[in-house]
Chain A
Amino acid sequence: EPEVTQTPSHQVTQMGQEVILRCVPISNHLYFYWYRQILGQKVEFLVSFYNNEISEKSEIFDDQFSVERPDGSNFTLKIRSTKLEDSAMYFCASRGVTSVLSEQYFGPGTRLTVT
């Protein structure tokens, strides 16, 4: 069964450093998402991406964040200058286009720890 994959599974970085979280969505999907979950809190929407541009973003997704689909398979989330409060589990998801009701498939997540 096709699945969304994410790398790395755990990333430790120092405050102020740039990080790139990588995702490989399901191959025929065209809608892509990033969510995050701070420990003990809700899963929160960050951004959605379609047709090589951001289609929706939340207040969390400020200028420190960016997304890119650099090739036909990867979907990345970059945090330019990490802060302690960026420590969270980051989930990538993708969705097909067969129906607006089609489900989002989630990856296993990347745990980001900012020290």
Chain B
Amino acid sequence: GNSVTQMEGPVTLSEEAFLTINCTYTATGYPSLFWYVQYPGEGLQLLLKATKADDKGSNKGFEATYRKETTSFHLEKGSVQVSDSAVYFCASRGDAGNMLTFGGGTRLMVKP
């Protein structure tokens, strides 16, 4: 079956630091890949996605590239802000386009 593994948190950074959150996946076929963000007290929001190999998803300064050769979809941001503090979830969805498979989530804390 499909699975997603992401680095455990919490990740604590100072404002303007560079962020990487690692995510790897196992899947049959060609899954679509997603990053969701959960701000305190809120639901999961789609941050970015990529649907095929070498696609780069980007949004709000975050980006991730679908790497089929390394089965990875690492999330990066060049300069984090305090407002980026949240829990980030990597997820995959199979060819059938139905259920999402999530990683364990990574809590990011950005200090001023």
With A and B bound together, what is the CA distance between A53 and B77 in angstroms? 41
Contacts of B101 in A (CB 8 A): 45
With A and B bound together, what is the CA distance between A56 and B89 in angstroms? 22
Q: Contact between A108 and B42 (Cβ–Cβ < 8 Å)?
A: yes
Number of interface residues of B (CB under 8 A): 23
Q: Contact between B104 and A55 (Cβ–Cβ < 8 Å)?
A: no
B62 to chain A, nearest CB (A): 16
Q: Contact between B100 and A104 (Cβ–Cβ < 8 Å)?
A: yes
With A and B bound together, what is the CA distance between A45 and B100 in angstroms? 7
Supposing A42-B105, A108-B42 touch, asked if A48 and B99 sit within 8 A by C-beta, the answer is: yes
With A and B bound together, what is the CA distance between A77 and B108 in angstroms? 31
Q: Which residues of B does A touch, CB under 8 Å?
A: 32, 34, 36, 41-46, 49, 51, 89, 91, 96-105
Q: Which residues of A does B touch, CB under 8 Å?
A: 4, 6, 31, 33, 35, 41-45, 48, 55-56, 58, 91, 93, 100-101, 103-109
